[in-house]
């Protein structure tokens, strides 16, 4: 799903195209397409696919608290490992989100997939021991459990009513800045396989968002396709069907093939493209 551009004749601006082939159609949306998109939104509302402002703000507040909590813990660990005070003050640490929440297509009451990124002196054992204990003492955190021997090790908990699955990755960096970008391959150097697996979710999600022509059209289309798949019982990685990331990739590819289309058109084209794939 690479982003490319092709040169236009007569010295015009190059026409950017997304993916490994050029678009099937560059047609702009008609008024009727916009009307159908509004009808599509209205049809999805009763199924709880859209979150209200209050719940959205609550999630942001919880993630903000968790981010501060992680920074505090990393500073404490750094002190225990005798880092100089000047280094402790800028050691950082950050929570990244991925999955449906990061894509902007999560439904009401859905959990949040998150990743704790720490600098090189913080070990995975610290995360599953001292951070786990720190979470245990927090009054807003309930149903806390660690699954350390999973394919992708995770700590699961409810933070002020919101379910969070938290992964851990330790990067080969002295500090973790707030503006860290996980998309570059250079950050994978010298990492153990569990850290690479933990980073995969964030990197894939960010790459998908980077490679779609219009994020809002992509999100609305994906919400519709996910609802359709769930209603028909074919949305499940564990049961051998396609999971969230796979559906997202298929919708992203449709968006690349019809870069100017709105959601109602994209839903139609999704079935047209993949029924003939």
Per-residue pLDDT of 158-180, as tens digits, reads 999 999 999 999 999 999 999 99
Q: Mean pLDDT, to the nearest integer, of 211-215?
A: 96
pLDDT at residue number 86: 87
Q: Mean pLDDT, to the nearest integer, of 117-137?
A: 96
Q: How confident is the model at residue 273 (pLDDT cuts 50, 70, 90)?
A: very high
Task: Enumerate the active-site residues.
Answer: 100, 111, 113, 165, 226, 235
Task: Write the DSSP assignment of 145-176 as a string of letters.
Answer: EEETTSSS-EEEEEETTEEEEEEEEE-SSS-B
pTM, entire model: 0.88
Contacts made by residues 2-11, CB under 8 angstroms, sequence distance 24+:
2/211, 3/210, 3/211
Q: Mean pLDDT, to the nearest integer, of 108-124?
A: 95
Q: Determine how many CB atoms are found less than 10 A away from the CB of residue 52.
A: 9
Lowest model confidence (mean pLDDT) among 113-117, 148-152, 153-157: 148-152
Q: Mean pLDDT, to the nearest integer, of 146-157?
A: 95
């Amino acid at each position: 799903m690479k982003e490319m551009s092709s040169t236009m004749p007569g010295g015009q601006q190059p026409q950017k195209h997304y993916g490994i082939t050029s678009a099937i159609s560059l047609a702009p949306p008609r008024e009727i397409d916009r009307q159908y998109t509004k009808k599509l939104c209205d049809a999805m509302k009763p199924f709880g696919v859209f979150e209200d402002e209050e719940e959205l703000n609550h999630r942001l507040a919880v993630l903000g608290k968790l981010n501060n909590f992680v920074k505090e813990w990393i500073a404490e660990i750094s002190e225990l490992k005798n880092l100089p005070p000047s280094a402790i003050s800028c050691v950082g640490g950050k929570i990244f989100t991925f999955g449906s929440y990061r894509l902007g297509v999560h439904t009401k009451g859905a959990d949040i997939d998150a990743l704790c990124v720490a600098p090189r002196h913080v070990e995975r054992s610290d995360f599953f021991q001292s951070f786990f204990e720190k979470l245990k003492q927090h009054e807003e955190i309930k149903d806390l459990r660690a699954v350390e021997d999973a394919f992708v090790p995770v700590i699961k908990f409810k933070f002020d009513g919101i379910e969070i699955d938290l992964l851990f990755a330790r990067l080969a960096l002295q500090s973790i800045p707030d503006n860290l970008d996980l998309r570059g391959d250079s950050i994978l150097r010298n990492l153990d396989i569990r850290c690479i697996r933990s980073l995969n979710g964030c990197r894939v999600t960010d790459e998908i968002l980077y490679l779609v022509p219009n994020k809002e059209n992509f999100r609305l289309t994906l919400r519709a396709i996910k609802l359709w798949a769930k209603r028909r019982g074919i949305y499940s990685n564990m049961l051998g069907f396609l999971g969230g990331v796979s559906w997202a990739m298929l919708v992203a590819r449709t968006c690349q093939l019809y870069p100017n289309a709105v959601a109602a058109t994209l839903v139609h084209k999704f079935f047209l493209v993949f029924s003939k794939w």
